[in-house]
Chains A and B, each alone.
Chain A
Amino acid sequence: MPAMLELKNITKKFGGLVAVNDLSMRVDEHEIHALIGPNGAGKTTATNMIEGVYHPTSGQIFFKGQDITNLKTHEIARLGIGRTFQNIKLYDTMTALENVMVGGHQLTKLDLFPSIINPKGLMEEEKMLKEKAEMLIEYVGLSGIKNEYVKNLPYGNKKVLEVARALMMDPELLLLDEPAAGLNPSERADFVSLLMRIHSEGKTLFFIEHNMDVVMNVSHRITVVNFGAKIAEGTPQEIQTNPEVIKAYLGERYKVK
Chain B
Amino acid sequence: MKKKYWLILLVSAVIVVAYVLLFMTSNSYIQSVMNMLLYNIVLVLGLNFITGLTGQMNMATAGMMALGAYSFAIADTSYNVNPWLSLLMVLALGLVIGRALGYPSLRLQGFFLSLTTIGFNEVVRITVNNLTDITGGATGYKDVRRLPFFFQFPDKNSYFYLNLIFTLIMIAIAVLVVNSKWGRAYKSIRDNYEAAEATGIDIAKLKIQAFTLAAVYSVVAGVMYAGYSQYLNPTAFATSYSQNYVAMLMVGGIGSVPGNILGATLVTVLPEVLRAFQNYYWVMFCTICLLMAIFVPDGLWSLLQKAIRFVQKKLNRNKEVA
Contacts and interface: CB of A to CB of B under 8 A. Distances in A.
Interface of A: 51, 53, 72-74, 77-78, 82-83, 85, 89-94, 98, 101-106, 108, 112, 115-116, 119, 122, 125-126, 129, 165-166, 168-169
A74 B200 contact: yes
A78 B200 contact: yes
Given A101-B184, A116-B176, A119-B176, A93 B255 contact: yes
Most buried by B among A89, A166, A169: A89
A90 B199 contact: no
Nearest to A91: B191
B188 interface: yes
Contacts of B200: 74, 77-78, 105-106, 169
A250 to B, nearest CB: 31
29 contacts: A53-B194, A74-B203, A82-B198, A85-B194, A89-B194, A89-B198, A90-B192, A91-B188, A91-B195, A94-B191, A98-B184, A101-B184, A102-B181, A102-B201, A105-B181, A105-B184, A105-B185, A106-B199, A106-B200, A112-B182, A115-B177, A115-B182, A116-B173, A122-B180, A125-B181, A165-B195, A166-B198, A168-B199, A169-B199
A72 B203 CA distance: 11
B48 to A, nearest CB: 14
B56 interface: no
Contacts of B191: 90-94
B266 interface: no
Contacts of B162: none
A158 to B, nearest CB: 12
Contacts of A73: 197-198
B249 to A, nearest CB: 15
Given A91-B192, A92-B191, A98-B184, A116 B199 contact: no
Interface of B: 173, 176-177, 180-182, 184-185, 187-188, 190-192, 194-203, 209, 213, 255
Given A92-B192, A93-B255, 7 more contacts: A74-B203, A91-B187, A93-B191, A94-B187, A105-B184, A106-B199, A122-B180
A194 B181 CA distance: 28
Nearest to A111: B209
A28 B145 CA distance: 69
Given A102-B199, A105-B199, A166-B199, A115 B176 contact: yes
A159 to B, nearest CB: 13
Nearest 4 CB-CB pairings of A with B: A106-B200, A91-B191, A77-B200, A89-B195
Nearest to A103: B199
B195 A90 contact: yes
Nearest to A175: B198
Interface centre among B195, B196, B198 (most CB of A within 10 A): B198
